[in-house]
Amino acid sequence: MTLTDAQIQSLKSEAKAAMEQAHAPYSNFTVGAAILMEGGTIIRGANIENASFGATICAERSAIASALSQGHRGIKAIAVTNATDTKITPCGICRQVIYEYGTDIPIICSNQSGEHMIHSISDLLPHAFTL
């Protein structure tokens, strides 16, 4: 999918707004994600940490779970951002989860300055597990 500049900027802005809702008292590493669904709806997610670290959920999976639980299907693109200079990419678990919903989903990876790079999920996870 080819994204317009307006779509990219909108997703980055929504991911930044989502990041403001993160709960990261242990790492202080806040992350926000925004997903563009088929039909144009944008769903936000933020990382939610827990003292039992295995119960922590990343922003991308938070947004995906929210979208699916609201009845949305068809992920067109995902933006992810953080409050550092690093253009953050999804972690391995998130890459695998995203891949489940499409092999060519564009991932907008951005930083606190708004700089970004775009990769397809297949580029980020070239040998994904599939059933």
Q: Is the pLDDT of residue 105 over 80?
A: yes
**Tokens found for residue 121:** 């999920």
Mean pLDDT of 15-28: 98
- In terms of Cα–Cα distance, which of 91, 81, 62 is closest to 13? 81
Query: What pairs with residue 43 in β-bridges?
Result: 35
**Domains of the chain by residue range:** 5-124
Mean pLDDT of the chain: 97
Q: Is 60 a catalytic residue?
A: yes
Instruction: Calculate helix-pair angle for 59-69, 92-99, nearest 10 degrees.
Output: 30
**pLDDT value at residue 78:** 98
| CATH number, span 5-124 | 3.40.140.10
Give, rounded to a whole angstrom, the gap between the first and last alpha carbons of the chain. Answer: 24
Is 88 in contact with 31 (CB distance < 8 Å)? yes
- Look-up: residue for tokens 């891949």? 99
> Residue range 112-129: average pLDDT?
97
Above pLDDT 90, what percent of the chain? 98
Catalytic residue among 14, 38, 49, 60: 60
pTM above 0.85, yes or no: yes
Give tens-digit pLDDT for 53-64. Answer: 999 999 999 999
CB distance 43 to 63 below 8 Å: yes
**Positive/negative CA dihedral, 65, 69, 73, 79:** negative
